[in-house]
Amino acid sequence: MKEVILIKLGEIVLKGLNRKSFEDRLIKNIKHRLHRIGAFKVRNAQSIITVEPVFDDIDMDETADCIAGIFGIAAFSRACVAEKDIGSIKETACRYLEDTFSTTASFKVEAKRSDKQFPLTSPQIAQEVGGCLAERFPDVAVDVHHPETVVTVEIREDAAYIHAGVIRGAGGIPVGTGGKAAILISGGIDSPVAAYMMAKRGIELTAIHFASPPYTSERAEEKVRQLLEKVAVYSGGMKMYTVPFTRLQEAIRDQCHEEYFTIIMRRLMMTIAQEIARKNDCQALITGESLGQVASQTIGAIACTDEACQMPVFRPLIGMDKEEIITISRKIDTFSTSIQPYEDCCTVFTPRHPRTRPVLKNVLAQQDKISDADSLIREAVENVRITDIS
């Protein structure tokens, strides 16, 4: 029996005249992501994308797991292909659903007839297939109101498809349709979630990480790489730019008042990140800030940070509490990595009493005390290390 995957589109169907460009990008992403598994035919017809393995030895469990992480897919089903003949459909259904029916208590059959030339109507197809299944599996009850398993028979232009159950997709819109942006990523819980949420809105990601050896370790940087690999399950591959930030942090510590350490550090991070983003054709920055979570994430502090940046800054977590963020981090499997106890540069030289309501002119006055700030920024940008995340 030949098994395929039928993909149902979600938000894409609302895109009007732009719909085809979204569909084309989704198909491109599907092909790219499945390339490591094997060869597939991917085609789009009648609002369904069909993924068909070229060879019989393709692992369809792995294929389904991969498709579950691709943004732009609302739902999908693993389906068996049958000839467009009611006898073939009934026999194929009985063979394909044997394992499913060994563990289910009740079922019903639904039919969808896209090909109106097929001689039986949808109710007739459902009745024929349902009767055959009931006869073949007498221990499984027919329940048209609250069935444990819903068997669907789809009669399409090219073939008949039989499946039992719909798997929820990742949703969102295809990565690459929303432009490019750079995510400032630490080793914490928040920024990987922010990256995931913006990828779900079609953003192609570049990652920027600030390291401050010897205050931060190689293990901390490895932790960030592992987090990005988990995000890449959904976003696709990206480049990670590691910025040497030690000399700038030491300059802030030595030349600025302690209560301004964090806000000045974040301003310099935004300045550097913007330079790297522009070199990578990014149109915005992304951070994992949540309003009021820490002292540097008050309205006043965020306003002072944004003043250092000329491109838009997206903060997808801004209205979320920590429990909501943790829930998503568990869903995308970043939580257990994020809580590993390796310090990142955001915790280096943390002030005892940070300013929660900073005044911009005072922040600028403190930042101006860094005598060689421009050369240190230039040095940091010129000495980034690039890692490919796949």
- The residues pairing with 291 across neighbouring beta strands, listed in sequence order, are none
d(CA 306, CA 270): 8
Mean pLDDT of 71-86: 95
Per-residue pLDDT tens over the stretch 257-296: 888 888 999 999 999 999 999 999 999 999 999 998 877 7
Q: What pLDDT does 340 receive?
A: 87
Burial class (CB in 10 A: 0-12, 13-18, 19+), 74: middle
Ranges of each domain in the chain: 3-170, 180-389
Q: What pLDDT does 257 receive?
A: 87
Nearest to 389 by CA among 188, 193, 171, 208: 208
Q: What pLDDT does 135 receive?
A: 95
Mean pLDDT of 189-196: 96
Per-residue pLDDT tens over the stretch 207-255: 999 999 988 888 989 999 999 999 999 999 999 999 999 999 999 999 9
For domain 180-389, give the CATH superfamily.
HUPs (3.40.50.620)
In the Cβ-directed half-sphere of 8, how many Cα atoms lie within 13 Å?
13
DSSP conformation letters of 100-142:
HHTS-SEEEEEEEES-TTSSS-HHHHHHHHHHHHHHH-TTSEE
Least confident of 77-91, 105-119, 300-314, 350-364: 350-364
Least confident of 35-39, 133-137, 216-220, 265-269: 216-220
d(CA 380, CA 378): 5
**Percent with pLDDT over 90 in the chain:** 79
pLDDT, mean over the chain: 92
The answer on pLDDT for 187 being more than 90 is no
What 329-332 contacts at long range (C-beta under 8 Å, 24+ apart), as own/partner pairs, is 329/189, 329/192, 329/193, 332/192, 332/193, 332/196, 332/230, 332/231, 332/233, 332/234
**Percent with pLDDT over 70 in the chain:** 97
Nearest to 67 by CA among 115, 22, 27: 27
pTM for the model:
0.88
Does the domain formed by 3-170 have CATH 3.30.2130.30? Answer: yes
- The residues pairing with 51 across neighbouring beta strands, listed in sequence order, are 5, 42
Supply the DSSP symbol for 203: P
